[in-house]
Each structure stands twice: as structure tokens, then as C-alpha cells.
Structure 1
Amino acid sequence: MLEKYFGDLSTAWKANEAELSKVGLDCGTINSIVYWRSKVEPARELEKADRFGVSVVTAVSPKYPSRLKEIYDYPPVLYIKGNLLPEDQLSIAVVGTRNPTAYGRQVTEEIVTALSRNNVTIASGLARGIDTISHSSALKAGGRTIGVLGSGVNVIYPPENTAIAKQIIENGALISEYAMDMGPRPENFPRRNRILSGLTLGTLVTEAGEKSGALITAEYALDQNRDVFAIPGNIFSAKSSGTNRLIQQGAKLVRTESDILIELNIESVATQLEFKETLPVTENEKNLIRYLGVEPVHIDEICRTSKLPASVVSSTLSMMELKGTVKHLGGMNYTLSRVIKES
């Protein structure tokens, strides 16, 4: 909002209270901006980040996560400790209660392990309970994981997760919109959840009660037009009342990792990424990609527009389906796979 109104973040940073009020901000927000502006010196902040090996990425940088920028209130600045890689585009947020039952622990470990082995990056909030289980399960499976913090990236909370935070940095990244040295504040955690859901293809709630903060992440995901998944639990368990209600309201019920992979077309994406390094794209494949898109196209239409023989089109589409480049929807109708659509 501020960047759009003032044209750039530098001008917004220097704006006085009267100018900030013209943007439509309430008095509380304006007072908060003025207060924290007096506490933060940009040059010192950048120097401190550099000293800790933290990247400071603005929304105009090519390094800024493209999916996160799709949401309404994306953070203008991100602090990143570690590395975000292209393969992290295939990511799922996994959240839940801070006090899981044995059932919640088991299903989280099993689902996250299976997703990680399918090259899906696991994002969570580094909190106690389901978050910690999600990160540790991804790491044990040899996968990548992202921690979104409600504090500065150099302030690990809870402190007992310091060791796992170091592992996350080596196999993913810690991310925060909050300045260096900022400690955990209660109001930070609900806000950070929009980043968690905004970074990912969808949010999985494995176990959560009616008042769990995980439900806030699910609400953000719905607002951001992301998929919401939930694992059903015992109807007599208070720890599963939140997840069961999500399913009742339309969240996709998850029994195994396949329910997520199929829904998001991640299986074909993973296949496409594997073949991408080993099999070249032929001229016929390049030609057919031009005539495929979001909407299903019948093979007869593809033959007509591409002017290729039916036998060539049929064999080429079969190979592209094996690679995960296209998806056969039945009735000889084809569409581009999710990864090609997004690229």
C-alpha cells in the first residue's frame, strides 16, 4: 500500500504523519510506524544483516518469492537466512497445534516424510508441536524446509529450536519480515501466517483445536486462493475439532500424501523436473506447447492448428505426458502441466 502510494519505499520511509494519514492508515498504525522508524537505522540494519549472513530482499528484487508477491498484503522486505531455490516453488505449508497427541505426531511425521521424498519443500513456523515435527521430519527425509518466523531471523523462538534452525538454514531458509534483533511479539505470529500460506501451493493442517493458530493460516490460504488440506481426527478429540471443521467447510480431506500430490498435480511436476535434466525438448514438442494452455484442447484441434500428422502428434503427446509436460484429461483432451503453466 505504502509503496504504491508514494512510488517507492525510500519516500514512504521518510513520510511524516500527515502524509501517512492520507494513505488511509489508522492512528495506531501511524504511531507504530513512527515509533519503529525512530528505532531502526537502515544503513545499520543492512550492515547487521550482512554480518549475520542474512539477505535483505525487497519486493522489486528478482530474488523475491514470486508466489508470495501474488497476495494482497505481501511484505515489502524479507530477511532471508539460508537459500531459497527454484525447486522450493513446489512447497506445502504444514501447521497444527503446539500440543499434538500421539496421533497428530504420527500422521504429521508420515505425511511430511512422504511429501519430502516426493521433492516437496515443507514450510512451517518453527513453533513448538506440529511445526517442529514438520521441520524435523522433512530434514530426516533428506528434504528441504522453510521456517517463517515471528521474530528477526537471528532471534530463534522458541530457544530450544536453535539446533533445528541451524539445520533449516543448511537445507532451506529462515524467513521473516521483521527487523534483525526483534524478539517474538504476540501480534507478530498471526501476521507471519499470511507469509507462510502465501509462499506455498497449499496449506495442510494435521491436527488443530477450535482455537488453534493453525486455523488462521488456513483462513489466509483461502483468502489467497490457495488450497487447504486437513487430516481428519477422532470426533471426540478436542485436538481434532478444528481440522474436522475445516473438512466440514470444504477443506480437502487427506489420508495419504497422494491426496495432496494428485490434487496439486505435483506428481507430474516432479516427473517433469526429473526428465528436464535428461531429455531434451524436441522441435515437435516445442511446436505442440504453442497450441496447449490452461483450457483442455482435443487432439484433433492440436493436429489442425499444428499442421502435424496425427501419428506425430499422438506419439509426441505420449512422450510429453511421460515427461510431465502435458496432462491427459481423458477423451483425448490435453492441457499443459502446472509447472509449464506457471513458467
Structure 2
Amino acid sequence: MSDLADAEVWLRLALTPGLGSISLLRLLQAFGTPGDVLSASPASLSKVISKRVVSDLLAYEHEPAVVAALNWLEQPTNQLVTLADDLYPSRLLETVDPPPVLYVKGNPSLLSAPSVAVVGSRNATPQGLENAENFSAELSAQGWCIVSGLALGIDAAAHKGGLAGTGSTVAVVGTGLDIVYPARNHALAHEVAQKGALVSEFPLGTPAKAGHFPRRNRIISGLARGTLVVEAALASGSLITAREAVEQGREVFAIPGSIHSPLSKGCHALIKQGAKLVETAADIVEELGDLPGAVQSSTHSAVDQIEHELLKYMGYDLVDVDTLCNRASLTPDKVCAMLLELELAGAVAALPGGRYQRLGQH
């Protein structure tokens, strides 16, 4: 939205205390434009929303917040995208509770790009992080925009993968866009704003609150044609995103994992409920369809499996040196030397407690 006068009217509605998105939509349906809402009589407004909210709407107590938002919009990278804008993503309009206003830092056209949501655990395994980044990079290389939530773990890895390709990435956050949460992702958020887009329905200055993150999940799934869950415990917030996707009529994909890992339980539950089991990015593209001009890509192993026979004894569960010695009939010195070589090649990750995990498709 380039007209600050129009933005001011929308902001007056959006920043009214107690006026949620559903009530705001009811006002627009009843009166038309935001300007029509603000010019309506208190008696007319009270037929749609409570008298207390009418009082707040017609007062100017929230004017400092409007001024702050207008000042923020003067920066060239910042935009307010409203329901009345051509840039408002049509896929969000198909959802039950579309946010009337979106604050955007970066490229707003990415909100309407063909996209895949990639979500998962904040406490991801090395394998999960690699899967999230590799899947996202391959999809982005084919033109798919990667949508996620800027959280630690799988979300951050997904954004990094998205940034590696032409599809780029969109981060939907649970705070105001003048706050980066978690702070550890500050550099990543800056790169996403430069090369992709940061998006929030929450006003500037809104801090991180537990209830905001499940709410923003409907936007993550709503922007995307499908949602990929990489790793998730049974109580994971990622399952909320997957449920939102199902309710929005979108595809849900899940990567299977070890039957012994708690972070595989959520994905396995989704697969039992009908999510598509995927092993490669091609499985997702097969379901969603190729994009025009898509470039097929593949990740080649950096390790020759014939040379490293140890890999076949590792499997994909966590394993220690003694177990590998027993399985491969090798000495500890030989196993440790091979593990070091594999780790340097990026085929194996060393974990706390003297355990190791095989990575990727190696």
C-alpha cells in the first residue's frame, strides 16, 4: 500500500484494542470500506461489535501506535498489505480467518508466489536440520518459495535452504516486525528481509507471547499449497500447522524417521492420518506439480559408500562406537578413524554422549 492516507485508516481499525480480525471483517462486510466504518454512527457500529469496542474505535487513544506504524511505513522496504490490495495473497482469502492487515518487510510479491511451508521441531536433530535445508533448497531451486516461522531448528534450516534458490523464502513471525524473535536468528531475519520477506499480522512492538505462535501458523499454512513436516513430537506446534493445512484444504507431507525417536512420532502420526510420506523433494513436486521453467536438481553424496562400508552398519538411528565395532567387526581405532573421515565429509554428525548419526542420503 503506497498511500499513507489509506494506510492510516486501515491502521486505525487494525490497532483498535479489542477489535480482532473476525470483528474487523464483520465491520467491513457491514459498512464497506474502513473509511465508511469510521464515519458510521455509534448506534450502527454497536449492532456489529460491542459498545466497549465502539468506544475504543471512535476514540484516539491508539493514535501514537498509528503514527509509529506510519513512520515505519516510510522506510522503502516496509509495506502494509490489506484486504483491499492487489498484493494480498489470494490463498489467504480462501481461509476461514484471513488477517485484514499484514505488515511486510521485504518483497510482498512473494506472498502470492507458489510456495511450500516447511515446519518442524525447534530442538531438531542434525539429520532433521539437513533434511529441512536440503528439501527447501531443492524446492527453491525449482521456483518454490519456502514459507516457515523463523523459529530455531527446522524453521531456520528451511529459510536457509529457501534463500539458496530462486524461489526464496517468507518468514511469518509471531511478533511485531520491529522485534526479532528468537534473537539468535537476528542475522537470518536480516537476510530474509533483504532477499525474501518477513510477515506479521501483529502490530509493531508486539512481544513474543505463547498464544501468538499457534495463531500465526494458520498464515504459514494458508500461504502455501502444501505443508511439509520434517520432525515433530506428538505435542509439537508443527502439528497445529499441519491441522490448519488440512482444514484449509491444502496438502500435508511428512518425512518418516526412526521408530525410536520422539521427533518422529508426530510425522508418523500424520502419515497414519493420511499425510503423504516423502523421501525426496521430488515426492512433493509430484503431488503439487512442476512449475513452469523448473530446474531439476539433486543432491549428490560426497562420500563413496563402497569406500566407507561403515555407513551400512550405522543405519539412521543414533549409535555409539562400541555398537559399530560389534556390528562391523572392526577395532575401536579403525571405527573412530572412519567416523572422523565421514564427519569431515558431512556424512555423519557427532552428538553428545559419544554417539553418532548418519546424515542425509549418504
Q: Structure 2 length normalisation: TM-score?
A: 0.67
| Cα displacement (A) at 1:271 | 3.0
Question: Secondary structure of the residue that 1:234 maps to in structure 2?
Answer: coil
For 1:8, the aligned partner's letter is T
Q: Give the distance between the partners of 2:60 and 2:283, measured in 1 at CA.
A: 46
| Equivalent in the alignment of 2:84 | 60
Q: Residue 244 in 1 paired to residue 244 in 2?
A: no
| Equivalent in the alignment of 1:46 | 70
Question: Secondary structure of the residue that 1:154 maps to in structure 2?
Answer: coil
Percent identity of equivalent pairs: 41
| Cα displacement (A) at 1:180 | 1.4
CA contact (8 A) 1:88 1:120 kept: no
Question: Secondary structure of the residue that 1:55 maps to in structure 2?
Answer: strand
CA contact (8 A) 2:233 2:266 kept: yes
CA contact (8 A) 2:225 2:251 kept: yes
1:92-145 Cα deviation digits (max 9, x unpaired): 000001001122122212211211211111110001110011111222346401
- The number of residue pairs the alignment matches comes to 270
Q: Give the distance between the partners of 1:150 and 1:87, measured in 2 at CA.
A: 17
Q: Aligned runs of 1:125-144 on 2, under 5 Å?
A: 125-141=149-165, 143-144=167-168
CA contact (8 A) 1:108 1:133 kept: yes
Q: Give the distance between the partners of 2:270 and 2:89, measured in 1 at CA.
A: 28
For 1:270, the aligned partner's letter is P
CA contact (8 A) 1:123 1:196 kept: yes
| Equivalent in the alignment of 1:160 | 184
1:56-88 Cα deviation digits (max 9, x unpaired): 111111111122122121000111100033695
Q: Give the distance between the partners of 2:111 and 2:221, measured in 1 at CA.
A: 17
| Equivalent in the alignment of 1:109 | 133
1:33-68 Cα deviation digits (max 9, x unpaired): 87x984454344222332474101111111111221
For 1:137, the aligned partner's letter is G
Q: Aligned runs of 1:1-343 on 2, under 5 Å?
A: 1-2=25-26, 3-12=28-37, 22-23=47-48, 38-39=61-62, 41-51=65-75, 53-85=77-109, 89-141=113-165, 143-265=167-289, 267=290, 269-271=291-293
* Compared CA separation, residues 48 and 272, structure 1 to 2 (3 A): closer
CA contact (8 A) 2:137 2:165 kept: yes
Q: Give the distance between the partners of 1:49 and 1:249, measured in 2 at CA.
A: 44
1:234-257 Cα deviation digits (max 9, x unpaired): 122111111110000001111100
* Compared CA separation, residues 16 and 90, structure 1 to 2 (3 A): same
1:146-173 Cα deviation digits (max 9, x unpaired): 1001111121100111111111112110
Question: Secondary structure of the residue that 1:225 maps to in structure 2?
Answer: coil
Unpaired runs of at least 5, structure 2: 1-24, 297-362
Q: Give the distance between the partners of 1:25 and 1:133, measured in 2 at CA.
A: 44
CA contact (8 A) 1:148 1:192 kept: yes
Q: Give the distance between the partners of 1:58 and 1:193, measured in 2 at CA.
A: 19
Q: Give the distance between the partners of 1:236 and 1:176, measured in 2 at CA.
A: 37
For 2:102, the aligned partner's letter is L
For 1:95, the aligned partner's letter is V
For 1:90, the aligned partner's letter is P
| Cα displacement (A) at 1:6 | 3.5
Q: Give the distance between the partners of 1:272 and 1:105, measured in 2 at CA.
A: 25
Structure with higher Rg: it is 2
Q: Structure 1 length normalisation: TM-score?
A: 0.70
| Cα displacement (A) at 1:11 | 5.0
CA contact (8 A) 2:218 2:245 kept: yes
Q: Give the distance between the partners of 2:182 and 2:111, measured in 1 at CA.
A: 28
CA contact (8 A) 1:209 1:241 kept: yes
* Compared CA separation, residues 65 and 16, structure 1 to 2 (3 A): same
CA contact (8 A) 2:143 2:165 kept: no
Q: Give the distance between the partners of 1:37 and 1:210, measured in 2 at CA.
A: 45
CA contact (8 A) 2:176 2:202 kept: yes
* Compared CA separation, residues 172 and 127, structure 1 to 2 (3 A): same
Q: Give the distance between the partners of 2:175 and 2:233, measured in 1 at CA.
A: 24
Q: Give the distance between the partners of 1:25 and 1:252, measured in 2 at CA.
A: 44
* Compared CA separation, residues 133 and 26, structure 1 to 2 (3 A): farther
